[in-house]
């Protein structure tokens, strides 16, 4: 769960998630990248409001056991970040 304050209105939220290992971003596949579905957020979002985003990241068995920073971005329709969070994680 992550709470964030929106600085702008947006009709859409697209989740874009990468694992960052040694400075190199590796994309994670999400079953649904729509940040307005099954996340606790109903779009459109409005500037000046706080939202609570809740979701899960499926970890595939073929992923290596590694310490990784997860870069989780929620983007607007123009692919501009509304929020970007770095989450220290350990897979395995």
Both structure tokens of 38: 């099954």
What's this model's pTM, rounded to 2 decimal places?
0.86
Domain ranges of the chain: 2-91
**Does position 27 have pLDDT exceeding 70, yes or no?**
yes
Specify the fold of 2-91: Immunoglobulin-like (2.60.40)
Which DSSP string do the residues of the chain spell out, in sequence order?
-EEEE-SS-BS--EEEEEEEETTEEEEPP-S--BTTSSSS--SSB-TT-EEEE-------TTSPPEEEEEEEEEE-TTS-EEEEEEEEEEE-
Average pLDDT over residues 17-27: 92
């Amino acid at each position: 769960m992550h709470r964030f304050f929106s600085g702008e209105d947006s009709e859409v939220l697209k989740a874009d998630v990468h694992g960052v290992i040694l400075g190199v971003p590796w994309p994670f596949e999400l079953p649904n990248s729509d940040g307005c579905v099954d996340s606790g957020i109903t779009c459109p979002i409005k500037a000046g409001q706080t939202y609570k985003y809740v979701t899960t990241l499926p970890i595939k068995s073929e992923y290596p056991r590694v310490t990784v920073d997860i870069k989780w971005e929620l983007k607007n329709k123009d692919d501009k970040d509304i929020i970007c969070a770095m989450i220290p994680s350990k897979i395995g």
